[in-house]
Structure 1
């Protein structure tokens, strides 16, 4: 395991972090997964108030595993070096007022059984309204800063599923020391946000690069062939770890054994090899062969029917170029079912008004492509994971 400085926090985090959204099945499973993470050198655990009983389980593990307190960090006693310093991050959704946020912070401290949280992230800074709450001097950040002054919180950041423009605006507030965001080889839209956060010296935590990056634990045969002789999961991780500005990648293991395969390259943070770059170029070239490739310029927005045209067509790109249909279905069925976490309406809502057509530099037949994508990827919606717990 290798470790990197988490920006302004000056914490040195393992380049893989354990995300706890998927280990919710039982306290026993959570303990086994946590122990395996320690064995592999992970020293950063991320949870959230909204992840069912995750905070409670994590608090229980802190006590059950006999983690001692020293210089503001928890230490798994058998571990050495950077691996012995355990850092905890929890996340709380943005609130419209300081009092509600203060109560939420107290709840997380209680559930975790802590006096101090190493890192607190505003969870899901996704909309312009959320940003206004953050910028309001009397809003929720007043409570966050008060908790920081009282040593209940050491470092403050935010997580986001919002638009690039919103993320950039949030970064420009200079209220945060780190950011959790989506960015991977198959979704590079947020590259400017990664660059800006890096210039500001912020820690950069990549959200779910294997799952949201393409269900890469179970890649389609076509994608595996294009990545030969490497593995798509490892290649995507190497794309990220080769960038010094990226601090850590989330691994959302549901059970201990799911940590072993992704962490097999935890020591590989060097620049991309010639072979790796050639494979990434091959993947890029494969996408460019599509006759109706959406270049993700976002010029088609806004849509009068609130259809998330670029994201729908991105899923179409991936489906046709790499046979990533399972991933496309997984993400497409989130439209109209996940609120501001995955905004926009489905492709069949298109009224063929033509508003987007003159704005598309590729002159794509967008209404037809939206309907084609809907036909390919429509499926039954399912609840978000923690809603089913």
Structure 2
């Protein structure tokens, strides 16, 4: 296992962090179930993972993690990050911090992340000097919290603005081979010496643990998941990559590359070139370049994200992933903003701004026909 400095926190974190949502959030209160769930973080810690993350919003994940860790592992052997949502109410934030400490059964939280600075309103709550930042600063001063950061699913401009507040020591964000739009945020965070944690590269990065045959063939001799991990590990600006195993077996793939952060090899580069060539050949003149110049949409359609899902579906047969993400539109609030492609009124507002001169209304409806289905329940609901 390799370790990297988590920006200005100066913590040395394992290049893989263990997220506990999938292994703990849906547990029952049965003691046997909790004991069985212990196997996953125990295996991860034994293999060198020293950073575990959870969140107030992940059902009883904090409580179960506290039970699992209490007495079984020296506190000095691992770091804990928990995530608490933004709020305009400072008293509520103070209460939530104390509740997290109690549930985790710890005297201090290594890293507190504001969970989901996803909108300009959320950012305004944080920037207000008498808002929720006040009790957070008090917790930092008293030692209840050691380091402050934020997690985000926001548009890039909100992420950049949050980083530029200089309130935070680290950021948790989405960035993968199949979603590189947040690269400017990675670059800025690195310039500001912030720790950078990548969220859910296996799942949000493309459901790469169950790739379609076409994607497997194009990635050979690597798995798509291995390629994505190597894409991230080879970038020295990234500190750690969050994995969310449901069981110990799901640790096998990341641990297999946990000591490989060298530059991409020629064989890996060739695999990425095959992926790029396939996208060019499959999409031809219908490929969205993800420039985001089509926004804003009068109907609040997240056009680039809709067309990104179409790109992946058409180029790589990533239908399951496309449906999984597309069905979140109109069902996940600020965590996945925007409406579905069938809301397009053919107003034409986006057309003059598209450098590829795409027939955007037609492609939006085509994406809807390919990917629409029944909405899925979020894991912790």
TM-score with structure 2 setting the length: 0.96
Give the secondary-structure state (helix, strand or coil) at the position aligned to 1:23.
helix
1:361 aligns with 2:355: yes
CA apart distance, 1:114: 1.3
Give the secondary-structure state (helix, strand or coil) at the position aligned to 1:22.
helix
1:9 aligns with 2:9: yes
Cα displacement string for residues 304-355 of structure 1 (whole angstroms, at most 9, x for unaligned residues): 1101110000000000111111100000000000000000000011111111
Can you give the 5+ residue segments of structure 2 that lack an aligned partner in the other structure? 28-32
CA apart distance, 1:259: 0.8
Structure 1, 313-322 or 285-294: larger mean CA deviation: 285-294
CA–CA separation in structure 1 for the residues paired with 2:212 and 2:159: 32
CA–CA separation in structure 1 for the residues paired with 2:377 and 2:88: 26
Give the secondary-structure state (helix, strand or coil) at the position aligned to 2:380.
helix
Give the secondary-structure state (helix, strand or coil) at the position aligned to 1:209.
coil
Can you give the 5+ residue segments of structure 1 that lack an aligned partner in the other structure? 69-73, 76-84
Structure 1, 25-34 or 177-186: larger mean CA deviation: 25-34
1:63 aligns with 2:70: yes
Aligned pair partner of 2:189 in 197, 208, 222: 197
CA apart distance, 1:261: 2.0
Alignment partner, residue 328 of structure 2? 334
Alignment partner, residue 114 of structure 2? 122
- 5 Å matches for 1:249-328? 249-289=241-281, 290-291=283-284, 292-328=286-322
Cα displacement string for residues 245-264 of structure 1 (whole angstroms, at most 9, x for unaligned residues): 11111110011111112221
After superposing on structure 2, the runs of 4+ consecutive aligned residues of structure 1 that deviate more than 6 Å are: none
- 5 Å matches for 1:1-389? 1-24=1-24, 25=27, 26-65=33-72, 67-68=73-74, 74-75=75-76, 85-289=77-281, 290-291=283-284, 292-387=286-381
CA–CA separation in structure 1 for the residues paired with 2:212 and 2:71: 40
CA apart distance, 1:274: 1.1
TM-score with structure 1 setting the length: 0.94
Cα displacement string for residues 225-267 of structure 1 (whole angstroms, at most 9, x for unaligned residues): 1111111101100000001111111110011111112221100
CA apart distance, 1:28: 2.3
**Does the aligned pair in 2 maintain the 1:97–1:138 contact within 8 Å?**
no
Give the secondary-structure state (helix, strand or coil) at the position aligned to 1:212.
coil
CA–CA separation in structure 2 for the residues paired with 1:183 and 1:38: 25
Aligned residues: 372
Structure 1, 349-358 or 20-29: larger mean CA deviation: 20-29
